[in-house]
Structure 1
Amino acid sequence: MSLQPHDDLTGARVLITGGAGFIGTALRTALARAGARPALLDNLSAYGPTTLTLLGTGPTDPDLTVGDINDEPLVRRLVADADYVVHAAAHSSVHGCTTDPQTAVRSNLTGTDTVLRAVSGARNMRRFLLLSTAQVYGHGAPHTPRPEQAGFFTEDQPLDPLNIYANSKLWAERHTRQLLGVAGRDYTILRPFSVYGPGQVPKPGAASWVVAQFTMYAALGQQLLLNNGGHQLRDFIYRDDVAAAIVRSLTAPRAAGQTLNLGTGTPTSVRQVAEHVRRHFPAADIVDAPRVAQDPLGACADTARMHDVLDWSPAVSVTEGIDRYVQWVRTTPNAIPDWMRGETSTSRITSWRVPASL
């Protein structure tokens, strides 16, 4: 990423909630490269010690404060010391929110409110950035300019979240606009599409993380299960590209008050991902499986506003990104979590079902 004059973050203090996560740790690296001083806040509940080490963080990380976004005095203290806040903390998988809605509400709603109220009262705050999700579109009604083209989601179309996770993110978007709008605080909302890349370690039941899932299951000699035959469309954007876009969004003047998609604008089917992974693991079997409940059929991002506002484009294609991820798994075999090693195709399909009662 080439920095423009308005992108000077030298010495700026940037608080990243959820900073020990997959995106948060990549963002920390990108911010440090831009001359900023990143500070991480995380309760370390998302990953175990092995994954945290792979992500370059853990309880002894000097940039990390181990704490909860619902701890109001702590959040107010950290926000008061920051020039920018990136709110990435969330109970972040569809499966996790569906099976534990109480934690989803506490983290994604109550915790977001705590952070926003701290930001609204922070006099030195330059910009707040909310990391939302493309899941807010649901199945949506993708705009298709020509019949031969895949549909794409535009920022201003009606939203139709299909699950608790997506609904909580939509609430967070609206609460950001309402609370910070009244307070006169600068904010930007980003909707990343399907983020992937080295460092991503699947969580149980998180069937949508297909690059990571397919690569690790193929490395283990297990089947690649295609929900709905793999016809779902996704817009896969590489982790480092997302971090670069966030850095850009913090200081781009025209990003103020904007809601922006983060994607490549290139549609890729889940089946195409499986087939590309199989090129690296020719013995892997690709098998059709039932569609996961509450899993969007998908579309790609309309990136026109992103290009216009940020004057930026992603650098890594999906084929190059998958190749990099496969290489990372091959050179980092301990990244594959133990729970994946004991699974079968039957147990995986069972884990995707929405519980009848909670």
Structure 2
Amino acid sequence: MGRRLLVTGGAGFIGSNFVHHVVEHTDDEVIVLDKLTYAGNRASLAGLPEQRVELVVGDIADAALVDDLFGRVDAVVHYAAESHNDNSLNDPRPFLDTNIVGTYTLLEAARRHGTRFHHISTDEVYGDLELDDPARFTESTPYNPSSPYSSTKAGSDLLVRAWVRSFGVQATISNCSNNYGPYQHVEKFIPRQITNVIRDIRPKLYGKGENVRDWIHADDHSSAVLTILDKGEIGQTYLIGADGEKDNKTVVELILTLMGQPADAYDHVTDRAGHDLRYAIDSTKLRTELGWQPHYRDFEAGLAATIDWYRAHEDWWAPAKDGVEAFYATKGQ
């Protein structure tokens, strides 16, 4: 029998992909703690064996609940976060409550119970790079967040580092590039464009579409996190990336081409405030020290598989689609 893991945010996009990955590739049992906000979805855990996956609906800032759950598990993987830049610009407060206070609550429980703790973070804590800059983010890149979302994630990372150093918490951190794949909410860039095409709505591209993201399939993120949980050195940070740099214009045009549409059948819309130019991850440390490699090395193949998933699971994404498009319409996006 394997471990029992607590996965916070395990009904969200990246968290649910991790739960599916754990069930498929290990003997571990999983307790999912998820608040089931709009970004969490019970349906993302549908079909998983009940004897191995338990869903607890609750808040990571609920200290009593968190303490009880920590007493039942061997390790914790902390995915739960408010994570949408646009939402953080509209109302920053939930990002403080979840990303800062929630992470603090979990760390205090890890401290009391001596529980192995892995903290999931983002490359957005490093700010952005110029489009013509040959550099990529590394574990030593200074933090330079640019939004309420990325600043609260940076703050949560620093809390983890402090609890390791000050209190001996057995924690590691990973900062990952942009994820794509199944179970991603339709407000996000790639699934929004895919579902637009399915619904015969023209895809939307912020500004000129020159902003570059370093894409990684969620299943590769999951395998990297398991590798760090098993082999990572306590107190260390590992960057997770799959060398998937693409500008947004290229991604939209590739989605259209893969879905049998003209590559230029999209609309330019008002750019996001403070839109970071470029993210790029150097995952050398993870690959050389822990021996991890991504499975989806071809972005086009991974994107095609993702398109197939959304085509086959309209029942999963359709309930949220109309509301998302109505919200963006009010912003001219």
TM-score, length-scaled by structure 2:
0.90
Aligned pair partner of 2:175 in 186, 191, 197: 191
| 1:343–1:170 Cα change, 3 Å | closer
Partner of 1:220: 199
1:94-243 equivalences under 5 Å are: 94-123=85-114, 125=115, 127-140=116-129, 144=133, 150-203=134-187, 209-243=188-222
Alignment of 1:3-18 (within 5 A): 10-18=1-9
The aligned residue for residue 270 of structure 1 is 248
Aligned equivalent of 1:53: 43
Q: Secondary structure at the match of 2:33?
A: strand
Q: Shift in Å at residue 151 of structure 1?
A: 3.9
Return the alpha-carbon distance in structure 2 between the equivalents of residues 339 and 327 of structure 1.
19
Structure 1 pair 53–170 and aligned structure 2 pair: CA distance change class (3 A) = same
Which residue number corresponds to residue 147 of structure 1? none
For the residue of structure 2 that corresponds to 1:136, the secondary structure is helix
Indicate if the aligned counterparts of 1:140 and 1:160 stay in contact, CA closer than 8 A.
Answer: no
Deviations 1:148-195 (A, max 9, x none): xx5422221122111111000000011111123212122111111111
For structure 2, list consecutive stretches of 5 or more residues without a partner in the other structure: none
The structural deviation recorded for 1:212 is 0.9
- Give the distance between the partners of 2:125 and 2:44, measured in 1 at CA: 30
Gaps of 5+ in 1: 1-9, 145-149, 204-208, 354-358
State the Cα distance separating 1:28 from its structure 2 match. 1.6
**Percent identity for Structure 1 against Structure 2:** 27
Cα 1:331–1:36 shift into 2, 3 Å:
same
Shift of residue 349, structure 1, vs aligned partner: 5.9
Q: Quick one: distance in 2 between partners of 1:82 and 1:352?
A: 46
Q: Does the 8 Å CA contact 1:22/1:55 hold for their aligned counterparts?
A: no
Q: 1:55 Cα deviation (Å)?
A: 4.1
Contact 1:219 1:281 in 2 (8 A): no
Does residue 291 (structure 1) correspond to residue 271 (structure 2)? The answer is yes
The answer to whether residue 23 in structure 2 is matched with residue 23 in structure 1 is: no
Contact 1:54 1:199 in 2 (8 A): yes
| Alpha-carbon contact 1:21-1:46 (below 8 Å) kept | no
1:64 counterpart residue number: 55
The alpha-carbon deviation at position 35 of structure 1 amounts to: 1.3
- TM-score, length-normalised on structure 1? 0.84
Shift of 1:248: 0.8
Q: Is the CA contact 1:201–1:337 (under 8 Å) kept in the aligned structure 2?
A: no
Distance 1:286 1:352, change over 3 A: closer
- Distance in 1 of aligned mates of 2:162 and 2:324: 45
CA distance 1:11–1:257, change in 2 (3 Å): same
Q: Which amino acid aligns with 2:165?
A: G
Q: Which amino acid aligns with 1:157?
A: T
Q: For 1:135 and 1:343, locate their aligned partners in 2 and report how far apart those are by CA, in whole Å.
A: 23
Query: Which residue number corresponds to residue 323 of structure 1?
Result: 304
1:82-130 Cα deviation digits (max 9, x unpaired): 211111111121122222222221111111111011101113x2x2111
